[in-house]
Amino acid sequence: MLRKLWSRIRYYFRIDLHTIQGRLTGGFMILAFISAGVVLFNHQQWKRLSTERDYIIGAIDPSIMLIQQIVLEVERTHTYLGSPDFNSEDFRATAWNDVILPLKDSAESYSKIWGEQKDFKLAFRWFTDEVDYLMEQQSAIVTNDLDIPAPSDFHEDLRFAFQTLMDRFLAYKNSKASEGELLIRRMNRISWVSFFVAILLAATFGSIIITRILHKIRLLKYHIREIANGQLPEDIPSSRDELNTIIRSLSELVGNLRQITEFAGQVGKGNFESDISVFNGEGSLGASLADMRQSLLNVAEENKKRRWFNEGIAQFSDILRTHNKDLDVLCDHVVRHLVHYLEATQGGIFIVNNTDPDDVTLEMRGLYAYDRKKFLNWTIRPGQGLAGQAYREREKIILKEIPQDYTEVSSGLGDATPSYLAIMPMMSNEEIYGVIEIASFRELEEHEIDFFEKVSENIGAAIASVKINQETTRLLEDSQLSTEQLRAQEEEMRQNAEELEATQEEIHRQMREASEQRDMFVSLIENVDGVIYRSKHDEVWSKVYLSENVEVVTGYHPSVFLEKNKSFGEIIHPDDLARVSQETEMALANKEKWNIEYRMIKRDGSLIWVEEKGKGVYDANDRITFIDGIIIDITERIEREQAERAASV
């Protein structure tokens, strides 16, 4: 693990000026060294400034504050001198003992860390001497009851010593501040100079590196553009930097494209079996080209087979078209050409003889073996041998391994001893006309078997055509023989036609008379002042016929009753319905006519009186088939009679 890590570190930080990575690493290292030097110098200067700042803050500034406080406290003690307050002396003594002297001790402790600043120590010693002197003077004034001097006179020396010490402190601080500002400006100048130097170096190294890289990239771009335009460059110069990988890959691509060009040339010449390997047959393009070559090879082979197939079909079409008069001549030419075209050894053709439907046989009508015609009269029956089996089953038979004497026993080819046998039935429009046998010492390929099968169908169609022609000739002769008979029969048929025409005219006359009678009957019915009907004898007396006057009498269209949307019983007044039903059924049972008056409710709800006359229609078995009747509106008569009776009363 560590070795691997170390190897990776060495790889990324190696300095090889021939490589882009090495040049960049060298340039970055130079910039890093310059930056490190600038940072180290600035660090030292900042450290120096920080030390002096800490010295001023930690030693000088506290000393100044203590000394200023001492001066203030000493001046305040002067106010206690001559004060009438009896405690003023105690306050003065306490101020010296508890405040001023401790402050003086603290200032002396800070003076020890002033280092080699002798002018500070001399001025401070003078100041402390003045403080001690003032303390003794105040004690003497208090003890000896001396006159109190004015504050300005009393503290003049102390203030002078204090001012001298302050001036030296301030001069030191100002000096250090000036030095710090000068140092900061110097560091800024050095930083900017270093920055511009680094920029200049980076720009110089960068421009050199970029120029060289761009030069090589332009060269690569030029070669790639040539490749894109279909031009294959010769040798591409190598490089010692990282671009050499691209150059090497581009060179390999050019080599593979040259192989593709050569491959395309071979394919254009029709040479699909060349051993040119593109991309070593690997990758999507290499595999695709390899597959394409194999596909083209397969297509060429298929085209070759298809061309062979089509040429054979065309040749046999010519044979079948030329020799379609004589069946024996046709069979001889077919079997000979088929044996030659399939490069077989022997061939034979059996034609079915079904003149006697009860004794169907297969007759040898053509035999060709070993480049010569054979004469052999051979007749087999359906199911006998392989030829008879193929005829019966209407399926091809292929034998790839045949015993030495198997064909002599079963094939129908006599003394032939080939090892491969193909038998095809000759069929056309689901009708079989015979079988063809082909024997060979080699196995037929699939396309040859398909060709054999297609040719067998065409031969079957040709044989069917020959037989049809022969049958047509025979029928023509028979037709000529029977023409006279037809002519004699024609005269008889003419006479029969005349009689038939007279009969048809009589029928038409009777139909016209029946139509006229029907029209007259309908006209009579429509002119009757009432409703004529015919009903079935069912529960509701379903109407079979109603005259158009039903709408005048009841207000309902005939279709309402004929389509069984409403029955006549529904419009008879409920008080009369039972009586009407009873009287009609009694009359039908006695095979009598009936005449009934009853009330009926019209469509608009008004009440009318009607008179119904009817009778039953019976069949031979005295069963009621229909009920015929007429219904007449007698409302006016009933109303008149009722009015007369009312008047007489």
Percent composition of the chain: helix, strand, coil (DSSP 3-state, to 5): 65, 15, 20
Same-domain pairing of 353 and 424:
yes
* pLDDT at residue number 514: 59
- Of the candidates 96, 47, 74, which has an alpha carbon nearest to the alpha carbon of residue 156? 74
Cα separation, 264 vs 59, in Å, equals 95
Cα separation, 463 vs 572, in Å, equals 85
The residue range of the domain holding 392 is 323-477
* pLDDT at residue number 86: 43
Residue 644: inside a domain, yes or no? yes
The string of DSSP codes covering 22-84 is HHHHHHHHHHHHHHHHHHHHHHHHHHHHHHHHHHIIIIIHHHHHHHHHHHHHHHHHGGGTT-S
Same-domain pairing of 227 and 376:
no
pTM: 0.39
State how far the alpha carbon of 595 is from the alpha carbons of 122, 550, 631, in Å.
173, 19, 10
- Find the largest Cα–Cα distance for the chain: 200
Are the C-beta atoms of residues 561 and 554 closer than 8 Å to each other? no
Give the containing element (helix H, strand E) for 523: helix 446-527
Look at residues 231, 250, 279 and tell me which one is the last residue of a structural domain.
231
Residue 507: inside a domain, yes or no? no
* pLDDT at residue number 488: 73
Look at residues 477, 498, 514 and tell me which one is the last residue of a structural domain.
477
Q: How many domains does one find in the chain? A: 3
Same-domain pairing of 461 and 538:
no
Same-domain pairing of 534 and 397:
no
Residue 616: inside a domain, yes or no? yes
Same-domain pairing of 543 and 614:
yes
The string of DSSP codes covering 298-313 is HHHHHHHHHHHHHHHH
DSSP 403: -
Look at residues 213, 231, 249 and tell me which one is the last residue of a structural domain.
231
Radius of gyration, CA atoms only, the chain: 71
* pLDDT at residue number 461: 84
Q: For residue 491, is pLDDT > 80?
A: no
* pLDDT at residue number 409: 36
Q: What is the pLDDT of residues 281-328, one digit of tens each?
A: 555 666 666 677 667 777 778 888 888 888 888 888 888 888 877 888
Q: How confident is the model at residue 524 (pLDDT cuts 50, 70, 90)?
A: low
Q: What is the pLDDT of residues 91-133, one digit of tens each?
A: 667 777 777 788 777 777 777 767 666 777 777 778 777 777 7
DSSP 409: I
* pLDDT at residue number 225: 79
Residue 491: inside a domain, yes or no? no
Residue 629: inside a domain, yes or no? yes
Same-domain pairing of 65 and 213:
yes
Same-domain pairing of 101 and 178:
yes
User: 336: domain CATH number?
Assistant: 3.30.450.40
Same-domain pairing of 428 and 542:
no
Are the C-beta atoms of residues 544 and 535 closer than 8 Å to each other? yes
Residue 288: inside a domain, yes or no? no
- Residues of the chain with pLDDT > 70, as a percent, come to 72
* pLDDT at residue number 150: 63
DSSP 239: -
- Of the candidates 167, 137, 143, which has an alpha carbon nearest to the alpha carbon of residue 67? 167
- Report the DSSP beta bridge partners of residue 607: 601
* pLDDT at residue number 412: 47
Q: What is the pLDDT of residues 505-515, one digit of tens each?
A: 777 776 776 56
User: 588: domain CATH number?
Assistant: 3.30.450.20
Residue 340: inside a domain, yes or no? yes
Residue 236: inside a domain, yes or no? no
